[in-house]
Amino acid sequence: MHHNKVAIFITNYNMPERTDALAVYILDRVQWPYELFVIDNGSDLCPPSKYTNVRLPQNVQTTGGWLAGLEVAKEQGDWLAYWFLITSAEFVDDRDTLTPMAALLETHPDLVGVHPALTEDSTTHWEHLKHRNGNVTRQTWMIDNIASLWRADWFDANGGFDPELRYGWGIDFELSYKAREQERLLWVHEGVEIRKVTDIGYSMDRMNMTAQERVGLASANMADVLSRRYGPAWHWKMLNEHVEDYMQ
């Protein structure tokens, strides 16, 4: 059984060089106890990452990759936390990004999710996650699965990743909404940073669909699932309800 170990998940789809770079950083820098799960999500245009230890025969989109990794990890015991990384994320310096975030979870029982600050040049809609010259940690209303660290027992008790949200969109909204409803803490750690490079897979012609096609499919999937679960006001609940309390 694990007491403070973190399961790290990287989902790769036709992006082996970026996956390899994330894996090398983790293997060279991270000091906190961990196991690395590199899930190849049906790559068909490029070979898989050389660090792959979970390989799927066909692409099942983002959520399917995460769920496959979680299934393998849970066979090994209990974990302090799950760290989810996507291939559009980049580590920007030699600091160990995981250890200070994992230490926060271990010492703050009401904290359920931590995200590294995003660099100012990150290409993302989530301006609230970008670095600010403030305290080492700050509360936020939502963390995104660019590089999200979730407390494992809370994550599992609150449904984790719903396979219905197959493109990954909406998972971040729903989990963060549940945390706010329960008055649990979500923090950005300003002491460590990561860069988000939007749509890099599409610019490299690796995705078997256009960015616009995927946005359309993902948005329709999210609207269908969350409206059935939370009603027609789901978008207001996920994005606006009580958010003003978390924007300082």
The pLDDT value given to residue 121: 93
How do residues 7-39 score in pLDDT, each as one tens digit? 999 999 888 999 999 999 999 999 999 999 999
**6-12 and 81-86 strand pairing:** parallel
* The two structure tokens encoding residue 143: 């963390």
6-246 domain in CATH 3.90.550.10? yes
Residues of the chain under the 50 pLDDT cut: 1, 248
* Amino acid in the structure at residue 236: W
Which is nearest to 207 in space by CA: 12, 10, 14, 4? 14
* The two structure tokens encoding residue 42: 């049906």
CA 72 to CA 53: how far, in whole Å?
10
- 13 by Cβ neighbours in 10 Å (0-12 / 13-18 / 19+) ranks as buried
**Alpha helices, DSSP H, located in 35-170:** 61-74, 98-107, 152-157
How do residues 176-213 score in pLDDT, each as one tens digit? 999 999 999 999 999 999 999 887 776 777 777 787 88
The pLDDT value given to residue 12: 92
Torsion angle (degrees, nearest 10) of CA 118, 121, 125, 130: 30
- The number of beta carbons lying within 10 Å of the beta carbon of residue 91 is 21
Measured on CA atoms in the order 126, 121, 202, 11, is the torsion positive or negative? Answer: negative
Q: In Å, how far from its chain's centre is CA 230? A: 23
